[in-house]
Amino acid sequence: MRKLIYTGIACLMVSVVSAQSFVTGVVYEDLNLNGRRDGKEKGIAGVAVSNGTDVSLTDASGKYRLPASDDFIVFVIKPTSYKAALDEFNLPRSYYRHKPAGSPDSFYKGVAPTGKLPASVDFALYKYDEPEAFTALLFGDTQPYNEQEVEYLKRGVIAEVQNIEGISFGITLGDLVGDRLDLHLPYKQAIKQTDIPWYNVMGNHDMNYDAKEDRLSDESFEACFGPNNYAFNYGKAHFIVLDDVLYPHPLTGKGYWGGLRDDQLAFVKNNLTHVPHDRLIVVSMHIPLIDSEEEGAFRDADRQALYELLKDFPDVLFLSAHTHIQMQHRIGKAQGVDRENPIHEYNVGTACGDWFSGILNEQGLPISTMRDGTPAGYAFLRIDGNRYVLDYKVLGKSDDHQIALYHPKTVTFRRPTSAFIYADFLMGSREDTVECRVDNGAWMKMQWSEEFDPAYYRYVQDWDYLEHLPLGRRPSNPVVCSHLWKARIPTGLPAGEHRIEIRAKDRFNRIHTTKSVYKIEEQ
């Protein structure tokens, strides 16, 4: 009797173990570029593959094995010196969705039922002489709320970047659209016109608002773009993309909160175990890490967990958007994070600017200057090995338009004035140095100042004083600018015209300059 009992228990244990399902497959080099594995095409060893939480490396024959469930996406973490397949919109197609029952019913459709998990889920890669020095395009929120704003996006930012050569890929940092998830397709059609591979971050306006839990808020995003947490390598840089919007809010059930679920943090941890410590780590998210009391600010425990996971990587850059302003943050010992080399977070100005607001320019496009005075535009991330520099490009302006000036046109000779010369150094932060001089005089440091950008403040006031409203939407109210400097304007110089010069040294030790003139009149 005792023997039979033990045998029964043993059989039960075998049954439980066998109930665990797995996804298996091969990552192989597609020599003839036909998208399927042919007889002579060998597997690639050492390629990371993930199910969104676990990460496994392929063996010597290119095979991988990962735990599976009834709702997951398996994807390849693109290795350096290989290309992934692209779909018709130039979006990487290095993933497979497994959702046998499909997405839950929602206002915007999710993933259709996928059927039985294939016996082997294989992924094709293409050998590529990948440079260590390359440039990526960065878009903050593109965020069209209707078809007209999709046209603004295409005729504005998209049309301008189409003519730029030497770009390896692009990233949109969330809020691809503005709540209308049926605009994800027109967005993809617009992005396709850049003719480069494109990666997408999920934002709070890309969610299914009728989702009852956070893991289901991305169903429509998954249907259009695949995984919303993933990674890829390019040169000596390792890119991690995370959906950092918790919806519904885990405490109140209303609205959203910036942060990460435990399975997302597990993915970051498991992924980083396969990344050499000398790599530049670039983390792309939507909501910035900055500690703030504003709606949707990042959950502190998750922020600290990310810092801990990244502690052994000296070179870390975070990219975010969401705020519709532009900011730079330094995260190191002064901020309570024990790092010799501080983390840099760049909160990128948006492609839609101030939500496509303001008067229309001569091309019929909204000026859409952001609330801190940053004009609408996009950024370049230029990487060489594990080093990088960043540049912001104002839409429709020359590359050297990095400082915006505001000052009186005319002042009275030797009469004291409360007027200032203001310099908005668009990529600046409090740690940078901005100087000015007049008529080749001595350079003097300008004072970093937390206040409204005066040019933007005037822009909003001018709108409010119009007798007849123009086409377009009123600009948003101004907010304090984090990249503004000021200095007293001299009045004691001789009457006549005088030249103002500004120079700014950025965090990459580059000097940016601009010039202007003002007059002194006797009364």
C-alpha–C-alpha distance, residues 461 and 464, integer Å: 5
Strand (E) or helix (H) holding 484: strand 484-488
Do you know the residue count of the chain?
Answer: 523
Report the percent of the chain where pLDDT is more than 70.
Answer: 95
Decide if 310 contacts 331 (C-beta within 8 A): no
The DSSP result for 133-149, as a single string, is: EEEEEEE-----SSHHH
pLDDT at residue number 11: 32
Strand partners, 515: 501
What would you report as the CA-atom Rg of the chain, rounded to the nearest whole angstrom?
Answer: 26
Distance, in Å, from the CA atom of 70 to the CA atom of 238, rounded to the nearest integer, reads: 29
- The rounded distance, in Å, linking the Cα atoms of 92 and 409 is 52
Nearest Cα to Cα of residue 377 among 368, 385, 386: 368
Q: Is the pLDDT assigned to residue 18 strictly greater than 80?
A: no
pLDDT at residue 255 tops 70: yes
- % residues pLDDT > 90 (the chain): 91
Q: How much is the average pLDDT of 470-482?
A: 94
**What residues form DSSP beta bridges with 485?**
423, 448
Report the predicted TM-score, pTM, of the whole model to 2 decimal places.
0.94
| Sheet of strand 280-284, all strands in order from the earlier edge strand to the far edge | 230-234, 237-241, 280-284, 316-320, 343-347, 327-331
* Amino acid 471: pLDDT: 83
| Beta-carbon contacts of residue 347 (< 8 Å; ≥ 6 apart) | 288, 290, 320, 321, 322, 323, 325, 326, 327, 328, 329
Q: Using CA atoms, how far apart are residues 333 and 339, in angstroms rounded to an integer?
A: 6
pLDDT classification of 294: cutoffs 50, 70, 90: low
User: Is residue 7 over pLDDT 50?
Assistant: no
Residue ranges covered by each domain of the chain: 2-124, 403-521
Pairing outcome for strands 343-347 and 316-320: parallel
Give mean pLDDT, residues 12-41: 77
Q: Please write the tens of the pLDDT for every residue from 153-208.
A: 999 999 999 989 999 999 999 999 999 999 999 999 999 999 999 999 999 999 99
Question: Do 403-521 and 2-124 have the same topology in CATH?
Answer: yes
Could you tell me the pLDDT band of residue 2, with boundaries at 50, 70 and 90? Answer: very low
Q: How confident is the model at residue 14 (pLDDT cuts 50, 70, 90)?
A: very low
Q: How far apart are the first and last CA of the chain?
A: 116
The whole-angstrom separation of Cα 23 and Cα 95 is: 12
Count of alpha carbons within 13 angstroms of residue 385, beta-carbon side? 3
- Find the mean pLDDT for residues 418-439: 97
**CATH second-level architecture of 2-124?**
Sandwich (2.60)
Q: CATH number of the domain at 403-521, please?
A: 2.60.40.10
Cα dist from 249 to 210, 253, 296, 461, whole Å: 13, 5, 9, 36
Helical spans, DSSP H, in 256-407: 262-272, 300-309
The closest alpha carbon to 82, from 52, 66, 62, 64, belongs to 62
